[in-house]
Structure 1
């Protein structure tokens, strides 16, 4: 039963990745693109974790944690750029 739910979750998160990539590509504004990138990061993390559940591998959970840290730092950097024009002061 958990495997079926995990496969459904993989399909849903995959659709979310595609939709976020579309918004990242066609975003009418820079702010929309930053939000799409942040949401894309969250969806990719969910894909990695769900795949880790299916595979039973703890290495994928560590990869998801690393990806989350990189995604957080990049989102903060892009937001600072949008608000101030500078990343490092």
Structure 2
């Protein structure tokens, strides 16, 4: 294994730990905005994990999956925030 492989493996473990912290905040968050922020952070950590995993396997399909999750995460965060502010999603 090269140094890059070790760095990618260590980075994957760190991102997994960050995902666990985000999941804890999502489940135990004291308020709804905290939970929305934790969900958005979980999306970002998932994107990072997919990109790192794609780099480790040298496959481009994970980059496309990360792009799809990024788009869905953005739309989901906007919709949840809009619902919290107005209690209505559709204008």
Q: How does 1:47-58 map to 2 (within 5 A)?
A: 47-58=49-60
Q: Distance in 2 between matches of 1:88 and 1:7?
A: 43
Name 1:32's counterpart in structure 2.
Answer: 34
Q: How does 1:4-43 map to 2 (within 5 A)?
A: 4-43=6-45
Q: Distance in 2 between matches of 1:88 and 1:13?
A: 35
Q: 1:88 aligns with which of 70, 87, 90?
A: 90
The Cα RMSD (Å) is 0.5
Q: Distance in 2 between matches of 1:73 and 1:9?
A: 27
Length, aligned pairs only: 89
Segments of 4+ in structure 1 off by > 4 A?
none
1:51-74 deviation line (CA, Å, top 9, x unaligned): 000000001100000010000000
TM-score scaled by structure 1?
Answer: 0.98
Name 1:78's counterpart in structure 2.
Answer: 80
Classify the secondary structure of the residue corresponding to 1:86: coil
Q: Distance in 1 between matches of 2:90 and 2:17?
A: 35
